[in-house]
Amino acid sequence: MNKIYNLALASILIVYLVILAGAIVRMTGSGMGCPDWPKCFGYLIPPTERSQLDWKPNSDFNKNQIIIIEDELFFAVDDFRSADILNIDNWEKYTKHDYAKFNVYHTWIEYINRLIGAIAGISVLILFISSLKYINKKFLITFLAFLSLVAILFQAWLGKIVVDSNLSANTISIHMIMAIILLFILFSILSIVSNKSTLIDLPRTISVLIIGSIIIL
């Protein structure tokens, strides 16, 4: 059970980091730093200069790579090499929203937020896989680990909807509520494994982090 405890604790701490990163995203106005999802301007590693989002002649472009033309986003419909003159048939207008600005700081703040979220997802996945060995003896632990996995996958999907909706207030609110629910599922696993029945019974540091994350949200 020590492994489950450590994995649950690690997941709580990483989710807490995601919440902190999300708070920084909100405070800095970086929510649309990456206008698409899961990539960022069509890149696995986002651009660092505005010029990387310009159309260029005799250059290779990858499918779904994004450029900005006259303050509008366009994405490549396929892999191709550009000619001397822009051929708009190779591009399709991005219609999920009309946000078409690039700020390198906003982009990388949002990108780091997504990276931490991905690490949280991996941590919860490992927790669920590890809990399967207890499915007969401690079914509730496995069930809660499965719920945490479903919750974090739902969070990832909500993150996409937040971007596609250009930071809809309602969607962001649901995103925040789900973060609280995920924390309490993970906290429940920690409580069961450590034979603690309440938040107060847990180590003080963990309790402070959980309560603090709720205050931040």
Q: What pLDDT is attached to residue 198?
A: 47
Percent pLDDT > 70 in the chain is 90
Across residues 187-202, what is the average pLDDT? 71
Maximum CA pair distance of the chain?
69
124-170 per-position pLDDT tens digit: 999 999 999 989 888 999 999 999 999 999 999 998 898 888 788 88
Is the pLDDT assigned to residue 210 strictly greater than 90?
A: no
Across residues 52-59, what is the average pLDDT? 94
Around Cβ 58, how many Cβ atoms within 10 Å? 8
Per CATH, the number for 35-101 is 2.10.10
Q: What pLDDT is attached to residue 157?
A: 93
> The whole model's pTM is what?
0.81
Percent pLDDT > 90 in the chain is 59
Across residues 53-58, what is the average pLDDT? 94
Q: What pLDDT is attached to residue 196?
A: 60
Of 34-48, 120-134, 165-179, the one with minimum mean pLDDT is 165-179
13 SS3 class: helix
Burial of 85 (0-12, 13-18, 19+ CB in 10 A): exposed
Single-letter code of the amino acid located at 145 = A
Is the pLDDT assigned to residue 204 strictly greater than 80?
A: no
Q: What pLDDT is attached to residue 172?
A: 86
**Cα distance between residue 118 and residue 51, in whole Å:** 28
Across residues 41-45, what is the average pLDDT? 92
Q: Are strands 72-76 and 66-69 parallel, antiparallel or unpaired?
A: antiparallel
Residues shown for the chain: 217
Q: What are the sequence ranges of the domains in the chain?
A: 2-33+103-216, 35-101
Across residues 189-214, what is the average pLDDT? 61
